[in-house]
Amino acid sequence: MTEFDGLPVLRSPVLIASFEGWNDAADAATAVVDHLRTAWQARPIDQIDPESYYDFQVTRPTVTMSETGPDVIEWPTSRFYLCHLPEAEHDVVLLRGIEPNMRWKSFCDDILDVCHRLEIDQVVLLGALLADVPFSQPLPITGSTQDPELMRRLALAPTKYEGPTGVVGVLHEAAEHAELDVISFWAHVPHYVSQPPCPKATLALLHRVEEVLDLPVPTGNLEADAADWEEQVRELVASDSEIAEYVQSLEQRDDEPGLEPLSGDEIAKEFEKYLRRRGGGPAAR
């Protein structure tokens, strides 16, 4: 169950969600939501009651000292935030969550209940995983959706992963069963530099969010942070001959066959959309 009443009436809202834990290598996915929450001055509108979903001996609450009153205990939970963007066709709802310790199906039902009450019909799920990818090249983003046209338009490589899954995968399936439009994006983080943060992966996910929303998303310092991260990793790799040889083998590895390429007309349409988002297209002239 959720804890807030009186949810606002929104304009064709889109949910963007990420979760701490197994689904969040190098904190790359939750960093996207944190970035958007700050950039778009989001305000809290709801949260999931944590009592049924977390083992508080594993995921402990934290206490914060207050100068003006009693100490405040903050319980681990998943919170919804509203971003009202006057220039956009949609309002954006952010979900900054923590993978639950138990009762995942009920947890997903609670999230979908909020989606229903807010009349959300499009869900974007973000995750990050460790992979054998070279840090020096664009970090791959794989994903899944039941919409083949969207998959092709985004030139999104389908995920080929099989094995244990996290709450992102469970929520994706639950949203599909609830007949919501849902797409998941997964950033591939180099496993040999897995310590957070990984701004390059965060930036790659952010660009995918921008494509789905079809509006400019402020990047702030992320581009500079990603360049600094890459330079630091380059120096680290250069200092270890074994890692350097391994990375070189990744760089030389043949690319896997990708999706069918877009046609010339489709490329032109996507470029026009990009220009409009950046204020340089025909609509801005």
Average the pLDDT over 63-87 and give the result: 86
pLDDT of 271 above 50: no
pLDDT class for 86, splitting at 50, 70, 90? confident
Does residue 164 have a cis bond before it (omega within 30 degrees)? no
Q: What is the dihedral of CA 221, 224, 228, 231, to 10 degrees?
A: 160
Same domain, 165 and 265: no
Point out the least confidently predicted range of 61-75, 149-163, 217-231, 268-282. 268-282
Same domain, 268 and 238: no
Residue-range definition of the domain harbouring residue 272: 257-285
Same domain, 207 and 281: no
Same domain, 77 and 127: yes
User: How much is the pLDDT for 279?
Assistant: 55
Asked, for residue 142, whether it belongs to a domain, the answer is yes
CA–CA dist 150, 257 (Å, integer): 19
Does residue 282 have a cis bond before it (omega within 30 degrees)? no
Radius of gyration of the CA atoms of the chain, in A: 20
List pLDDT tens digits, range 93-123: 999 999 999 999 999 999 999 999 999 999 9
- Other CB atoms within 10 Å distance of the CB of residue 179: 8
Same domain, 185 and 280: no
Are the beta carbons of 200 and 232 closer than 8 angstroms? no
Same domain, 220 and 271: no
Beta strand spans in the chain (E) = 14-20, 43-47, 62-64, 72-74, 79-83, 92-98, 122-131, 141-145, 157-158, 181-190
Query: Helix axis angle, 241-252 relative to 222-238, nearest 10°?
Result: 120
Same domain, 116 and 159: yes
Asked, for residue 169, whether it belongs to a domain, the answer is yes
Asked, for residue 135, whether it belongs to a domain, the answer is yes
User: How much is the pLDDT for 156?
Assistant: 82
| pTM of the entire predicted model | 0.84
Are the beta carbons of 114 and 36 closer than 8 angstroms? no
pLDDT of 227 above 50: yes
Asked, for residue 88, whether it belongs to a domain, the answer is yes
Same domain, 171 and 285: no
Same domain, 93 and 30: yes
Are the beta carbons of 199 and 225 closer than 8 angstroms? yes
Q: What separation, in Å, do the N-terminal and C-terminal C-alpha atoms of the chain show?
A: 49
Point out the least confidently predicted range of 68-82, 108-122, 188-202, 265-279. 265-279
Asked, for residue 145, whether it belongs to a domain, the answer is yes
Q: What's 95's domain CATH number? A: 3.40.50.10900
Count up the domains in the chain and report the number: 2
